[in-house]
Amino acid sequence: MNQRPVGTRQARELLRVAFGPSLVALVVIAAVVLLQLLIANSDMTGALGAIASMWLGVHLVPVSIGGAELGVMPLLPVLAMVWGTARTTAAATAPAGRAPVSWFVTRWVVASALGGPLLIAAIALAVIHDAASVLTELQTPHALRAFASVLAVHGIGAVIGVGSRVGRRLLAATALPGWLPDAVRAATAGLLALAGLSGVVMAGSMIVHWSTMDELYSITGSVFGQLSLTLLSVLYIPNVMVGTAAVAVGSSAHVGLATFSSFTVFGGDIPALPVLAAAPTPPLGPVWVALLIVAAASAVAVGQQCARRPLPLLPALGKLVVAAALAAVTMAVLGHAGGGRLGNFGDVGVDQATFGPAVFLWFAGIGALTVAMTGGIARRPRAPKPVAAPEPEPEPEEPEPEAVEPEPEPEPVEPEPVDEPASEPAPNGVVEDPEEHFMVDDDGPSGTH
């Protein structure tokens, strides 16, 4: 567990953000320059000027030597610088095991990522200006162009690094749609697919034109010279991949008067760089038309990423359009960064008027078809028809007890009078009284009357 105070720890992180990537680049450049001077058995008079010029060249600042401008800088060191800046800023914005820092500290992180390289750029310009007084062939670059290039390279890295940590938090605090991170992911997938497939095509073309590459290596007979050409070719591989991508989407790339596209090739002189053996030679065979498959496959990758989370029609189209636009702008920026003037050969680069729009059309058109076919459009649930509420069933009524009419009381039946038998007269004609024949108990001893 880190026991240092918070202020000290944050100061160390800000210093790492400000000078870490730039100092690493300076060390590597110094080692390469000193090794070159030692092998060439040269003095160290212009070592500092060469180191400063190469550091600015890593930031796409053109270098002028003897009146010849080298404006086509290798993209590999530039991409490494962007990656280093993004990595350090991301680590300072949200250290491992901790939540993202406050917005105040985040602003300081971005300011450090830009301020440190600008300070080193000012020192490099001063060193070059001082060395130009000794080496008359070395010319001082334009200061405004130098500061703008350094600011752009480290600014892009800082935005990528900080955005990877606080992007979702910032998105939640604004009214932007929630599918923006998915659009960025889809654009990244399309760019990686386009660059990777273009690299495969480039490697296959170099194998086909192996004899041309062997001729380019034969311009130097020393092992050190061939090693230098190999290292230089490795640094320029991303430039050639961008040119191959331009040809794949239907645009064109050019090296001076030589122009390459999927439909026509105009020959011309090209620099003696082995990696440029991948350039097609006229007459153009039908195999180069197959490059359009590369663009279609990359567009399918964009559509598949957009379809991962289905949305209704309009949001789904909005996400796809934003992803295609981000990819097109990124490729246009790479095309601009990888081009420039190359001495007597003229301008080198891609056709900027058609490169970005071609990427957008491929990614938007084929991507939309992919989204529709892979279920990326969520159907809106149909509004249920209003159903009349069923009438409540009447509760069974308990049968009321029937009123029992009281049975009429039987009328008292009067006993029918029984006719007593008439007393029969005595034989002697005397009527006898019946009571005379009854026996009556007295209170005293029983007796008879």
Please give the full DSSP string across 366-431, using - where no structure is assigned.
HHHHHHHHTT-BPPPPPPPPPPPPPPPPPPPPPPPPPP-PPPPPPPPPPPPPPPPPPPPPPTTSPP
- With a cut of 80, say whether residue 15 has pLDDT above it: yes
Mean predicted confidence (pLDDT) in 261-272: 82
Q: What is the pLDDT of residue 433?
A: 52
* Whether 17 contacts 9, CB under 8 Å: no
Lowest mean pLDDT among 17-26, 92-101, 407-416: 407-416
Of 10-19, 95-104, 383-392, which has the strongest mean pLDDT?
A: 10-19
Q: What is the pLDDT of residue 110?
A: 92
* Other CB atoms within 10 A of residue 446 CB: 7
Write the single-letter amino acid at 163.
G
**Is the pLDDT higher at 26 or at 283?**
26
- With a cut of 70, say whether residue 36 has pLDDT above it: yes
Cα–Cα nearest to 63, from 50, 53, 51: 53
Lowest mean pLDDT among 306-315, 353-362, 438-447: 438-447
Q: What is the pLDDT of residue 271?
A: 85
Q: Could you give the percent of the chain with pLDDT greater than 90?
A: 38
User: How far is Cα 406 from Cα 339, in angstroms, rounded to an integer?
Assistant: 119
**Is the pLDDT higher at 353 or at 138?**
353
- With a cut of 80, say whether residue 69 has pLDDT above it: no
pLDDT in tens, 165-202: 887 777 777 777 888 889 999 999 999 999 999 999 99
pLDDT band of 438, cuts 50, 70, 90: very low
- With a cut of 70, say whether residue 398 has pLDDT above it: no
Mean predicted confidence (pLDDT) in 211-218: 85
Looking at every residue in the chain, the average pLDDT score rounds to: 81
Of 96-110, 128-142, 402-416, which has the strongest mean pLDDT?
A: 128-142
Mean predicted confidence (pLDDT) in 296-315: 91
* Other CB atoms within 10 A of residue 81 CB: 24
Q: What is the pLDDT of residue 449?
A: 43
User: How far is Cα 49 from Cα 135, in angstroms, rounded to an integer?
Assistant: 9
What single-letter DSSP state applies at residue 437?
G
The pTM for the full model equals 0.79
- With a cut of 60, say whether residue 11 has pLDDT above it: yes
**Is the pLDDT higher at 324 or at 402?**
324
pLDDT band of 272, cuts 50, 70, 90: confident
pLDDT band of 410, cuts 50, 70, 90: low
Mean predicted confidence (pLDDT) in 141-150: 92
Cα–Cα nearest to 81, from 101, 66, 61: 61
Q: What is the pLDDT of residue 394?
A: 62
Q: What is the pLDDT of residue 390?
A: 64
Mean predicted confidence (pLDDT) in 222-226: 82
Q: Is the peptide bond before 283 cis (omega within 30 degrees of 0)?
A: yes
Q: What is the pLDDT of residue 360?
A: 95
User: How far is Cα 306 from Cα 201, in angstroms, rounded to an integer?
Assistant: 26
Q: What is the pLDDT of residue 448?
A: 40
pLDDT in tens, 369-392: 999 998 888 776 666 666 666 666
Lowest mean pLDDT among 94-103, 273-282, 423-432: 423-432
- With a cut of 80, say whether residue 141 has pLDDT above it: yes
User: How far is Cα 223 from Cα 240, in angstroms, rounded to an integer?
Assistant: 24
pLDDT band of 100, cuts 50, 70, 90: low
Q: What is the pLDDT of residue 387?
A: 65
Q: What is the pLDDT of residue 1?
A: 43
Residue 256 phi, psi dihedral angles, 5° rounding = 70, -125
Q: What is the pLDDT of residue 101?
A: 65
* Whether 113 contacts 154, CB under 8 Å: yes
Mean predicted confidence (pLDDT) in 284-295: 77
- Residues contacting 145, CB < 8 A, separation 6+: 61, 62
Give the total residue count for the chain: 449
Q: What is the pLDDT of residue 49?
A: 87
